[in-house]
């Protein structure tokens, strides 16, 4: 399967739609251990990124500048917290897609992995610290692992979704090491990290898009 800028436009639009549907739930999750605005921030960021990519001429723009446009728009819409994390993810995605007019299955998995690594590097987070990386890293690792076994792209993202969901659920038993929730200590235990929850929504949307694209 080849994924071009037109496909990325559709994918970002789907992600923004799904984040919008879950905005209030994400705010509720964040209200327990954070500022209560994660859903609003993610909604604003993904709407801005989808709009920026959607305004590009897909016949003239290849994936790298499309990802770069998304990065700038997301950061402008969300200056703090998740803004720099996803902006870095998109910039890394653009680097991974450099010189490509469209993305092969392996190219897309490189992009997906680069996004996860960008979030981890920018946030300086490790697994087990109750952050979105507890969903993103297992997802990227799972996708690459099953790809090595010959799984197609939509199957790789299905594996990524399962790993992301498991990683998100695992944050329920963690003490936060980053952000405002780190001040809560043991009181954060029992609550899912909102960043991990929103990461699951993003990865589910990507998987859903690729499954449709593969049909």
Output DSSP code: residue 183. Answer: G
Instruction: Collect all residues with Cβ–Cβ distance below 8 Å to 20 and sequence separation of at least 6.
Output: 43, 46, 47
Identify the band that residue 212 occupies on the pLDDT scale cut at 50, 70 and 90. Answer: confident
Q: What is d(CA 165, CA 85) in angstroms, rounded to the nearest whole number? A: 20
User: Is the pLDDT score of 46 beyond 70?
Assistant: yes
Alpha helices in 148-193 (DSSP H): 153-170
**What is the arithmetic mean of pLDDT over 23-31?**
92
pLDDT at 188: 61
Location of structure tokens 């969903």: 135
**What is the arithmetic mean of pLDDT over 32-54?**
93
**What is the arithmetic mean of pLDDT over 147-171?**
96
Identify the band that residue 179 occupies on the pLDDT scale cut at 50, 70 and 90. Answer: low
Q: What is d(CA 130, CA 178) in angstroms, rounded to the nearest whole number? A: 8
Q: What is the pTM of this model?
A: 0.94
Judged by DSSP in three states, 95 sits in helix
User: Is the pLDDT score of 187 beyond 60?
Assistant: no
Q: What is d(CA 196, CA 133) in angstroms, rounded to the nearest whole number? A: 7
More confident residue, 146 or 29: 146
Report which of 58, 15, 54, 22 is spatially closest to residue 39, judged by C-alpha positions: 22
User: Is the pLDDT score of 90 beyond 90?
Assistant: yes
pLDDT at 34: 77
Q: What is d(CA 28, CA 174) in angstroms, rounded to the nearest whole number? A: 19
* Percent of the residues in the chain that have a pLDDT greater than 70, as a whole number: 93
pLDDT at 142: 98
Report which of 168, 153, 174, 175 is spatially closest to residue 202, judged by C-alpha positions: 168
Q: Tell me the pLDDT tens digit for each residue of 104-148.
A: 999 999 999 999 999 999 999 999 999 999 999 999 999 999 999
pLDDT at 177: 63
The CA–CA distances, whole Å, from 73 to 83, 185, 205, 210 equal 9, 34, 20, 24
pLDDT at 178: 61
**Mean of all residue pLDDT scores within the chain:** 92
Report which of 121, 195, 201, 128 is spatially closest to residue 160, judged by C-alpha positions: 201
Inter-residue long-range contacts of 41-44, CB under 8 Å, 24+ positions, other chains counted: 41/78, 41/81, 41/82, 41/83, 42/78, 42/82, 42/198, 43/16, 43/19, 44/77, 44/78
């Amino acid at each position: 399967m080849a994924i071009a800028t037109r496909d990325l436009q559709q994918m970002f639009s789907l992600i923004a739609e799904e984040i919008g549907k879950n905005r209030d739930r994400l705010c509720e999750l964040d209200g327990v251990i954070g500022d209560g605005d994660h859903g609003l921030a993610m909604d604003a960021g993904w709407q801005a990124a989808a709009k920026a990519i959607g305004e590009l001429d897909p016949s003239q723009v290849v994936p790298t500048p499309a990802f770069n446009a998304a990065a700038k728009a997301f950061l402008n819409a969300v200056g703090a917290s998740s803004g720099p994390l996803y902006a870095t993810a998109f910039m890394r995605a653009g680097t991974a897609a450099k010189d490509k007019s469209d993305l092969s299955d392996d190219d897309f998995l490189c992009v997906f992995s680069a996004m996860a690594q960008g979030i981890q590097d920018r946030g300086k987070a490790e697994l087990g610290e109750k952050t979105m990386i507890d969903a993103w890293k297992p997802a990227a690792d799972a996708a690459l692992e099953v790809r090595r076994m010959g799984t197609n792209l939509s199957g790789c993202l299905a594996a990524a979704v399962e790993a992301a969901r498991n990683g998100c659920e695992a944050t329920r038993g963690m003490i936060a090491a980053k952000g405002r929730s780190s001040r809560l200590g043991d009181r954060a235990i029992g609550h899912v990290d909102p960043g991990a929850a929103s990461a699951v929504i993003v990865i589910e949307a990507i998987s859903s898009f690729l499954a449709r694209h593969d049909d």
